[in-house]
Structures are given as C-alpha cells and as structure tokens.
Amino acid sequence: MSKQMEAEKRNHQKLGQELELFMSMEEAPGMPFFLPNGMIVRNELENYWKQKHYKAGYQEIKTPIMMKQELWEQSGHWEHYHENMYFSNVDKQNYAIKPMNCPGAILLFNSKRRSYRELPVRYAELGLVHRHELSGSLNGLLRVRSFTQDDAHLFVELSQIEAEISRILAFIHDFYSHFGFDYKVELSTRPEKFMGDIETWNQAEKSLQSVLIEKGLDYQVNEGDGAFYGPKIDFHILDSLGRSWQCGTVQLDFLMPEKFDCMYIGEDNKPHRPVMIHRAIYGSVERFMAILIEQL
C-alpha cells in the first residue's frame, strides 16, 4: 500500500499539471502539449544532449517529418510497421509521417560520394516521430503517439564496428551517470518477422555480444525482441520506485545500407558497403522527462 501511495505521490501526470509542465488534450490523444515551464526542462535536456554530441564528434541533422510512400516501401517500414504509421495524401501522392528517423539519415549519407576517410560518419538528430499506439496503452509522457527521439545514425566500416559500439556504450553510461540513473542491459535478438538472412543476423548478434562481454557488462538475452532490420542492445532505466523503462538502444544494421545501396570508396579505390548503427540514449525525450519528474 505504501508503494502505491508513493507512486501516486510521484505520478508525473499529476506533477506535470501541478508544476504546469505539460498537458494532454482530447484534441490530440497521446500527443502532449508543453507549457512554458515544461519547455525550460525540455530545452535543458536537449541542450545538454547537443553539447555532449558535438564534443563526441557527431554532426547534427534534421530530416522531414513526412516523406513519400515509396521511401517507406524501400526501407521495409511499409511492410513491417504499417499498422503503427500515420498517412496523408497530397497532390495525389501518398505520404507517411515518419515513425522512425533512419531513412532520412540514409538519404543524407547517400547525397554525395563518400570516402573511407570520412568514416565513421556520425549523424545525430532530435527527430519528431509519430507512432499509432493503442489508446489503452497511452500513459502520460511515458507512452505517447508523438515524441522526439534522440537518434544517432552512424555509418562505419566492418573493421570499426566493435570499437564504435564500445565507444557508444561508454557514452550512454556517462549520460545516465550524469542523471544518477541505474540501468539494466538486454541483448534483443531476431524477431519472428525480420528482413534479411539468418547468417547476417547471427553475425550481427555475435558482434553485439562480443562487445558486451569485452566491456564486462551484465546483460540478459531478450529473445525475439530485436528490430525487424537488426539485433539491438537495450538499456532499461530504473526509476525512483524501481520500475524499469526501456530508453537507450544500440542497433546494428547490415540490411538498410543494402536496401538503399549505401556505398563508400575504400582505400583500395573500390566501392564498399558501410554498416549502419542506430543509437538512442533518452530514447524519447518525453519518456526521459517523465522519469526525471518522478525523481523529484
């Protein structure tokens, strides 16, 4: 009973209203409205994120919120994520509001000829995404339909994978330590519905597992919970009541670079395909903010 009372006392929706941080309105279910006080907190989180990324050698980008149907068909989202997406038709052309930021980052990587000397390319984006979550699952800022994902998309050579992932794991640890959060780590493997061949998936899972072992991190295997395009390392933050919330993620992707024909010119002056790493730390700025509010 005391734990339930403590949860009610710390409820971020209650505190968000009392402190005039954010509001939910029936005109936009699952899409929060931020008040001036809430924007102060948001801006602090986003500014800290930007400063850390600039120092770590990331380049900030911004990609459109809505892109043509053909792009999402090419990426595989149309087939594997269609039920969670929002759509529009403009000038007899079908569009989808982005549920993920990765295709936009790929288009930017492909916008010019690339050399091995440029790799790793590290793009960082605070990108607004929309996902059609079931109304019964919505929960304040913790589970919403419109949120800002603090994405990074890295394009690396095969030989750079383990060093870059090791670097990312240290970066994420530094972030969470700054806010005083403990966390758990999971290795999420191939789901039932996936793109690509099993051999490529096994190679990707082995690479992630190798880095976790090398870093001496305790982790659990979450069978079948990987993204449809690759396995991932998930970071679950423990809140003030000991509840676990999935926030950070590191995903290894051999498939998207192939689907979009991403290439760079290697030291041998021949074309090579990069490997893509998807990475988030807050996961959702809104969810991270909710966890912080309940820490008060």
Provide DSSP, 31-70: -PEEPHHHHHHHHHHHHHHHHHHHHTT-EE----SEEEHH
pLDDT per residue over 276-286, tens digit each?
999 999 999 99
- In this predicted structure, the answer to whether residue 256 has a pLDDT above a threshold of 70 is yes
Amino acid sitting at position 67? M
Q: Which residues are catalytic?
A: 102, 131, 149, 151, 153, 232, 278
Omega before 120 cis (within 30°)? yes
| pTM, to two decimals | 0.90
The residue extents of the domains of the chain are 39-63+100-293
CATH number for the region 39-63+100-293 comes to: 3.30.930.10
Residue recorded with tokens 């001496």 = 216
Confidence of residue 225 (pLDDT cuts 50, 70, 90): confident
Nearest to 127 by CA among 149, 144, 142: 149
Average pLDDT of the chain? 92
For residue 63, count other CB atoms closer than 10 A to its CB: 19
Asked if 265 contacts 113 with a C-beta cutoff of 8 angstroms, the reply is yes
Instruction: List Cα–Cα distances, 61 to 56, 98, 106, 287, in angstroms.
Output: 15, 15, 11, 22
- In this predicted structure, the answer to whether residue 78 has a pLDDT above a threshold of 70 is yes
Which residues have C-beta within 8 Å of that of residue 3, sequence separation ≥ 6? 241
- In this predicted structure, the answer to whether residue 152 has a pLDDT above a threshold of 60 is yes
Strand (E) or helix (H) holding 167: helix 161-178
* Residues 61, 67, 72, 77, CA torsion sign: positive
**What pLDDT shows up at residue 66?**
96
**pLDDT > 70 fraction of the chain, expressed in percent and rounded:** 99
- In this predicted structure, the answer to whether residue 56 has a pLDDT above a threshold of 70 is yes
**What pLDDT shows up at residue 1?**
55
Q: Which of 33-47, 148-162, 214-228 has the lowest mean pLDDT?
A: 214-228
